[in-house]
Amino acid sequence: GRLEAVTQQMGYHPQYLDSFLKMQHYLMHMDGPLPFDCRHYIAIMAAARHQCRYLVNLHVLQFLRAGGDPQWLRGLEFIPPKLRNLNEINKILAHRPWLITKEHIEKLLKISEWSWSLAELVHAVVLLAHCHALASFVFGCGCEQDEGLGGRGSLKALSLGNQCFCEATAGNSCSQELLRINRKRSLDSCMELDSLRERMQRIHVETEGREEMRLLQQDREEGEGQGAGVGVQGRGLYGTPGWLSLLADPDGEVTGATNLACYMQDPDFGYQDFARRDEDQTQVFRVQDYSWEDHGFSLVNRLYSDIGHLLDEKFRMVDGLQSSAMAKRQGCEPSVFKRGIWNYIHCMFGIRYDDYDYAEVNQLLERMLKVYIKTVTCYPEKTNSEMFDRFWKQFKHSEKVHVNLLILEARMQAELLYALQAITQYMI
């Protein structure tokens, strides 16, 4: 099943997979500051920044299952202002996290009735960084291509009863408790699908009725015949609004979202090289001044209980993965090779380590591998189907997945460092 593509790829490194699934489950489905439907909508907003239909489709289904308002799926104009206000920090985190300042944080925390609490904002920031980084992994490992031509695939109806990737794949669950929960939910999934079909169809009929009335009124105002055939913005195939293309077909499959532009503003805002030669040097983020271990971990764990431990375990797990064969091909020790990749990724986001000789990066990483890493890290939506196979043929598949896991975790930590530093500066 297509929903299991991420789990199948990470399954080459089962210890990391277990750590990833525990964090993902806690972030999306356990007690926390944010409501469950809002968590999935934030994930939709984050994945849309990189045009990742795989993740958008997954979280649209989870959003509906959590009782989310289907009207929100029409786009940012139809969601509460509080959620919509998150768009700016989502955009910056996804593409140029070094631009985040304490003023961005202050704006979110002090907007009268639509203000965020510190705990809610930390939860949202972790969600955004997680989904941005996961989009890099999805594109980097070709999971997005599995969705078919044009990125429009179908998601198995069983996904409506799933809670996270771990529950979509028997044998790879993160605990016996999750296995037990999964078995119960799988029994209910068919009933939930029928209920969802009826709910979506009812909303569809009501919406179509209102749209007909609006068009008739428009016809009367514009004169006979001028309103006929006028398209409605955001409508999908067969006259159905794009956000309602999620209705299940007779075979029990649910078609994915068609238009991701409605989930983001300023689509032309993208990654730019941190230090352009024709511009003044932007202030470098020095890990010696603000690090995950000494600063970020304690802050995030204090405001969102236990998530810090789960994130820290995941960071340590990817660092501990074996890569002796991969490093041997590059003529170095495994730890040296992994640190070269990690520091190269952080360098692209303006994060520097004073104790590291960056000349090593060019010695350790071949040019084509650097191109691949930069593409998947900074603009994953530009990753094409040939890159995974052609750019580094000397690596085994599991080794390629390992590099993509390093990209995922290094990118996520980079975004978190900038966001958490801005929150810290606001709190001082």
Residue type, 398: S
Angle at CA of residue 417, ends 87 and 426, nearest 5°: 70
Asked if 312 and 327 touch (Cβ cutoff 8 Å), the reply is no
Residue with more model confidence, 9 or 191:
9
- State how many domains the chain has: 1
- 3 state DSSP class of 56: helix
Within-domain flag for 97: yes
Q: Residue 301 has which token pair?
A: 């764990």
209-251 pLDDT, tens per residue?
555 566 556 555 555 444 333 333 333 322 333 333 343 343 4
Residue with more model confidence, 266 or 389:
266
Quick one: pLDDT at residue 58?
92
Asked if 185 and 49 touch (Cβ cutoff 8 Å), the reply is no
Q: What is the mean pLDDT of residues 189-197?
A: 50
Within-domain flag for 191: no
Hey, what's the torsion of the CAs at 287, 291, 292, 296, to 10 degrees? -140
Q: What is the mean pLDDT of residues 301-320?
A: 94
Residues in CB range of 267: below 8 A, 6 or more apart: 261
Q: Which helix (H) or strand (E) holds 155?
A: strand 154-156
Quick one: pLDDT at residue 185?
41
Strand-strand pairing, 285-286 and 154-156: unpaired
Q: What is the mean pLDDT of residues 348-372?
A: 90
Within-domain flag for 231: no
- The pLDDT of residue 113 is above 90: no
138-165 pLDDT, tens per residue?
999 888 765 543 333 333 333 333 434 5
Quick one: pLDDT at residue 144?
76
**Cα separation, 98 vs 88, whole angstroms:** 13
- The pLDDT of residue 367 is above 50: yes
What residues act catalytically? 52
Within-domain flag for 250: no
pTM (2 decimals)?
Answer: 0.78
Asked if 185 and 179 touch (Cβ cutoff 8 Å), the reply is no
Quick one: pLDDT at residue 123?
97
Residue with more model confidence, 114 or 184:
114
Identify the band that residue 395 occupies on the pLDDT scale cut at 50, 70 and 90.
confident
Within-domain flag for 159: no
Within-domain flag for 252: no
324-334 pLDDT, tens per residue?
677 676 677 88
- The pLDDT of residue 292 is above 90: yes
Quick one: pLDDT at residue 31?
93
Identify the band that residue 3 occupies on the pLDDT scale cut at 50, 70 and 90.
very low
Quick one: pLDDT at residue 201?
57
Indicate the burial class of 27 (C-beta count within 10 angstroms; 0-12, 13-18, 19 or more): buried
| Nearest of 55, 247, 57, 245 to residue 155 by alpha carbon | 57
**Domain of 5, in residue numbers:** 1-145+259-427
Within-domain flag for 402: yes
- Looking at the chain, the whole-number percentage of residues with pLDDT higher than 70 is 68
Identify the band that residue 114 occupies on the pLDDT scale cut at 50, 70 and 90.
confident
Quick one: pLDDT at residue 5?
86
β-strand partners of 255:
154
Quick one: pLDDT at residue 217?
61
Identify the band that residue 116 occupies on the pLDDT scale cut at 50, 70 and 90.
very high
Within-domain flag for 298: yes
Lowest mean pLDDT among 49-58, 102-111, 151-160, 351-360: 151-160
56-89 pLDDT, tens per residue?
999 999 999 999 999 999 999 999 999 999 999 9
- The pLDDT of residue 41 is above 90: yes
